[in-house]
């Protein structure tokens, strides 16, 4: 019974589309900014992000994601990224992502929190 209703509905929609004036048909697609931050093991962060034009996002480590880090890693365009935790600034229990222009604020819990940052020969080294 449900299959028959679906077939009838599709037939009605197809006939409406075929009989419509092509100059009067329009389609509006709205793509919204979106981000997902995941842990892909104890030392790898995965980010999938869709940003609006001219927008950027920041990625950093903290205990609270309420204030973006000025030293955060910049993501300048939409895409799928993988970052070693050791390349991110900050200390804490969360990996935070923020894009003020797009209104994005996402986070993922670190499997192994970064409790203290140390610098060795001008390069970051994070103590686990």
Query: In CATH, which of 3.40.720, 1.10.10, 2.60.40, 3.30.1370 is domain 32-127?
Result: 2.60.40
Average predicted confidence (pLDDT) for the chain? 84
Which residue shows structure tokens 């799928």?
80
Residue ranges covered by each domain of the chain = 32-127
Split at pLDDT 50, 70, 90, the class of 75 is very high
Split at pLDDT 50, 70, 90, the class of 3 is low
Q: Which of 22, 24, 94, 8 is nearest to 59 (CA)?
A: 94
Q: What is the pLDDT of residue 14?
A: 67
Residues of the chain with pLDDT > 90, as a percent, come to 59
121 φ/ψ sector (left φ>0, alpha ψ -120 to 50, else beta): left
Q: What does the alpha-carbon distance between residue 128 and residue 118 come to, in Å, rounded to a whole number?
A: 11
Contact 105, 65 (CB under 8 A): yes
pTM equals: 0.70
């Amino acid at each position: 019974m449900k299959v028959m209703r679906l077939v009838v509905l599709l037939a009605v929609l197809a006939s409406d589309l075929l009989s419509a004036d092509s100059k009067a048909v329009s389609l509006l697609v709205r793509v919204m900014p979106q981000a997902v931050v995941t842990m892909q093991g104890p030392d790898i962060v995965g980010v999938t992000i869709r940003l609006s034009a001219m927008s950027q996002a920041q990625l950093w480590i903290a205990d609270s994601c309420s204030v973006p880090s000025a030293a955060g890693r910049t993501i300048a365009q939409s895409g799928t990224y993988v970052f070693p935790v050791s390349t991110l600034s900050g200390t804490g229990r969360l990996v935070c992502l923020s894009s003020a222009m797009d209104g994005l604020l996402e986070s993922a819990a670190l499997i192994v929190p970064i409790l203290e940052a140390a610098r060795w020969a001008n390069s970051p080294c994070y103590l686990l």
